[in-house]
């Protein structure tokens, strides 16, 4: 354990092969209040450093059996926060600059005519080292705080996601209680819409929005009387107007729920048509969200291949022919192409058989 920085008397390791230099500099440092350790070679100095861990190192540059550059390089590797001061009378300017580039904090030329130059260099280096330690501690504390907050946010997001999923499930139950047909229909529409999203290379968060919107696209039907939803014959114009209100009702129900993605807007637009003849706004082509255009294709296909109170289901081939026929007319051609691609991959048949897949 490094305890050198916990004492009130800083410890200086003085490395110099010339005894007279060690005597002069060492006596001056002791008189200035420093504890001084001495070594006459780089190897001896590094051995002392490993055992004592002084606060600062002062080393000559050229010595038998190793030089000051070795000391700087070694300490940069094992103790980069320990300041190293070079004192040398043989180095030229380029060598002096080289030691500073390698990590020495100061360079003092021999002979040292003003000994207080050494103390100034030590005090400045110690101050810099202390500030570096404080900055490191502050940075570490900040990183720890950020990490803690990140964990807390992840936990909170997980709780919010769970709560949101529970809300979605509860809304689905409401729809199922009002119209049992709608519940199974909505789940299949969601799975088909996700399959189209994957076929179009959409990112995961947008596919998730498709899943939620698909499951909830008919939530607005809770405001439609049950006798209209389950009517065996053709609806009257007045009854159809009540049914047409369900996208706007669904939007009002969902608009304030913090879904990941524009779920409420997708639900509002899922009966818009590519040619502008849909409802409730009469949007056309790219005015309609891509997710809503995808949901429209999935909704129409699933409705055509399901039995309704007023008609029997069409075959898969008949429904596919309808999708292809309407591409560029009432349906987005890009989404229709994705639909045929999903069909070739076997995804649609798997959904029709209610097999488990990634499109859940």
- Residue 7 DSSP label: S
Is 221 in the active site? yes
Q: What is the pLDDT of residue 183?
A: 60
Tell me the CATH number of domain 179-352, given options 1.10.3210.10, 1.10.357.10, 2.40.50.140, 2.60.40.10: 1.10.3210.10
Question: Could you tell me which CATH class the domain 4-138 is placed in?
Answer: alpha beta
Q: How confident is the model at residue 5, as a pLDDT? A: 44
In order along its 360 residues, the chain shows pLDDT tens digits of 344 444 468 899 999 988 998 999 999 999 999 999 999 999 999 999 999 999 999 998 888 777 888 888 899 899 888 999 988 877 667 777 778 888 888 888 888 888 888 988 898 888 888 888 888 888 888 888 888 888 888 888 788 778 777 877 777 777 777 666 666 888 889 999 999 999 999 999 999 999 999 988 988 888 888 788 777 778 888 988 988 999 999 999 888 888 889 999 999 999 999 999 999 999 999 999 999 999 999 999 998 888 776 678 888 889 889 999 999 999 999 999 999 998 888 777 777 666 544 544
User: Angle CA(262)–CA(265)–CA(270) in degrees, nearest 5?
Assistant: 120
pLDDT number for residue 62: 83
Are the folds of 4-138 and 179-352 the same?
A: no
Average pLDDT, the chain: 85
List, in order, residues 6 or more apart from 259 with CB less than 8 Å away. Answer: 164, 209, 212
| Contact yes or no for 116/31 (Cβ under 8 A) | no
Query: pLDDT (tens digit, 9 = 90+) per residue, 163-201?
Result: 777 877 777 777 777 666 666 888 889 999 999 999 999
Residue-wise pLDDT tens digits, 308-333:
766 788 888 898 899 999 999 999 99
Crossing angle for the helix pair 204-216 and 116-178, to the nearest 10 degrees: 30
Q: Where are the domains of the chain?
A: 4-138, 179-352
Gap between the Cα atoms of 166 and 160, Å rounded: 10
How much is the pLDDT for 352?
63
Which pair of tokens denotes residue 330? 């009432």
For the entire predicted model, the pTM comes to 0.57
160: how many CB neighbours lie within 10 A of its CB?
Answer: 11
Catalytic residue among 119, 128, 221, 255: 221
- pLDDT given for residue 56 in this prediction: 93
Q: What's the rounded Cα separation, in Å, for the pair 188 and 352?
A: 8
Cβ–Cβ under 8 Å, residues 122 and 34: yes
Q: How large is the greatest C-alpha to C-alpha distance in the chain, in angstroms?
A: 114
- Please report the pLDDT score of residue 289 as a whole number: 96
Q: pLDDT value at position 339?
A: 92
């Amino acid at each position: 354990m490094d305890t050198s920085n916990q004492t009130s008397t800083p410890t200086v390791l003085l490395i110099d092969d010339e005894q007279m230099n060690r005597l002069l500099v060492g006596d001056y440092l002791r008189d200035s209040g420093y504890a001084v350790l001495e070594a006459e070679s780089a190897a001896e100095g590094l051995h002392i450093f490993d055992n004592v861990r002084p606060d600062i190192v002062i080393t000559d540059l050229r010595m038998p059996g190793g030089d000051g550059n070795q000391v700087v390089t070694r300490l940069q590797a094992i103790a980069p926060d320990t300041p190293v001061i070079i004192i040398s009378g043989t180095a030229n300017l380029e060598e002096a600059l080289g030691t500073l580039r390698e990590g020495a904090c100061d360079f003092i030329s021999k002979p040292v005519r003003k000994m207080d130059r050494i103390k100034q260099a030590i005090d400045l280096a110690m101050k810099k080292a202390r500030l570096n330690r404080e900055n490191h501690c502050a940075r570490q504390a900040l990183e720890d705080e950020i990490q803690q907050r990140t964990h807390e946010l992840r936990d909170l997001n997980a709780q919010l996601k769970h709560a949101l999923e529970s809300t979605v499930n509860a809304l689905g139950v409401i729809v199922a209680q009002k119209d049992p047909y709608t519940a199974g229909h909505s789940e299949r529409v969601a799975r088909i819409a996700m399959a189209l999203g994957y076929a179009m290379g959409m990112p995961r968060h947008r596919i998730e929005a498709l899943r939620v919107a698909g499951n909830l696209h008919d939530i607005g039907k809770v405001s439609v009387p049950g006798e209209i939803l389950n009517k065996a014959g053709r609806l009257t114009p007045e009854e159809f107007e009540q049914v047409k209100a369900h996208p706007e009702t669904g939007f009002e129900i969902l608009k304030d729920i913090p879904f990941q993605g524009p779920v409420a807007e997708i639900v509002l637009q899922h009966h818009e048509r590519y040619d502008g003849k849909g409802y409730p706004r009469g949007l056309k082509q790219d005015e309609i969200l891509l997710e809503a255009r995808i949901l429209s294709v999935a909704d129409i296909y699933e409705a055509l291949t399901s039995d309704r109170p007023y008609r029997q289901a069409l075959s898969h081939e008949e429904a596919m022919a309808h999708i292809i026929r309407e591409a560029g007319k009432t349906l987005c051609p890009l989404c229709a192409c994705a639909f045929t691609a999903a069909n070739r991959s076997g995804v649609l048949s798997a959904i029709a058989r209610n097999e488990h897949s990634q499109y859940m």
